[in-house]
Structure 1
Amino acid sequence: MSTTDRRKFLGTAAAIAVGSTAAAAIPTNNMAKKYPIAHHVFFWLKNPDSKEDRDKLIAGVKTLAKIETVKEIQVGIVANTEKRDVVDTSWGVSELLFFNDLEGQAVYQDHPIHQEFIKNCSHLWDKVVVYDIATV
């Protein structure tokens, strides 16, 4: 085996080890059982090419984690995955929140932190689409 082949083999082996370790770290508990209510929001930015506006919106969304009924939060941007007809990449920022129950989601809607977020960030978005999910 040449030095180049050995390096490729070691690199591949290391990547497999890292991937296996990451897979083992994935929690086995079911999010649907843990938090049965999900609130998924997609934002279309008024200035979709503005990284500054996107970053301001992301920072604003992250403040929602301080609301006591928000049990988990994930904030994201469009992934650079394969382009397919069924994949919508027209939005700019997404938030995915999890709640214990409908009452917790209702508290979130009226919470001063959520209202402050809307007041401070609504000028950044052109469109918002919300999917409220009762997991099964």
Structure 2
Amino acid sequence: MTTHSRREVITAAAALAGAGVAAQAASAATSGNAGTAGKATIPPVVHHVFFWLKNPKSKDDLARLLTGLRTLGGIETVKAIHIGVPAETEQRGVVDSSYSASEILFFDDVAGQNAYQVHPIHKKFVADCEHLWERVVVYDVKPAPTP
């Protein structure tokens, strides 16, 4: 069985974020996060959040959460956004698909991520949706130092 570090998982998820990331990241200023030939440069600070709904079988609750998450793309410091639900991939010991939804937000720097935390859109999202979830796990990631 192959195991992967959190960084590898986050990097793979970021690579899958798609055309929205590629379009936005192309104009984003980055430092120390150069892509390889044919790959988009991804903004260097990643905020990845996993949500577990109180009522995981409720399609309405999931729809409300996803709608709320989509509003976060309106925050100026968010350079790209990916919102998703667990994929029907092969179940392996390292795969946790127990969550209901996730968001991946990309920022140019930690200051941008800090501004996002106190932004009125983010605060409204929390106020409107926190009653839906029972658990939230956040991974904030920055580029690893180069050797």
Matches within 5 A, 1:1-136: 28-31=39-42, 35-136=43-144
C-alpha separation between the residues in 2 aligned to 1:94 and 1:29? Answer: 22
Name the CA distance, whole Å, in 1 between partners of 2:64 and 2:143.
Answer: 30
Structure having the higher Rg: 1
Structure ranking higher in helix proportion: 1
Q: Which residue of 2 aligns with 1:13?
A: none
Query: What's the secondary structure of 1:128's corresponding residue?
Result: strand
Residue type matched to 2:65 in 1? L
Q: What's the RMSD between the two structures over aligned residues?
A: 1.1
Gaps in structure 2 of 5+ consecutive residues: 1-21, 23-37
CA distance, structure 2, for counterparts of residue 61 and residue 98 of structure 1: 14
TM-score (norm. length: structure 1): 0.77
Task: Return the TM-score normalized by structure 2.
Answer: 0.71
User: Is this contact kept in 2: 1:78–1:91, CA < 8 A?
Assistant: yes
CA distance in 2, matches of 1:50, 1:64: 22
Deviation at 1:28, TM superposition (A): 2.0
Structure with more contact order per residue of length (Cα contacts < 8 Å, sep ≥ 6): 1
How far residue 135 of structure 1 moved from its aligned partner, in angstroms, is 2.4
Q: Secondary structure at the match of 1:60?
A: helix
> Runs of 4 or more off by more than 3 Å in structure 1?
none
What is the count of residue pairs matched by the alignment? Answer: 108
**Any unmatched runs of 5+ in structure 1?**
1-25
8 Å Cα contact 1:38-1:135 kept in structure 2: no
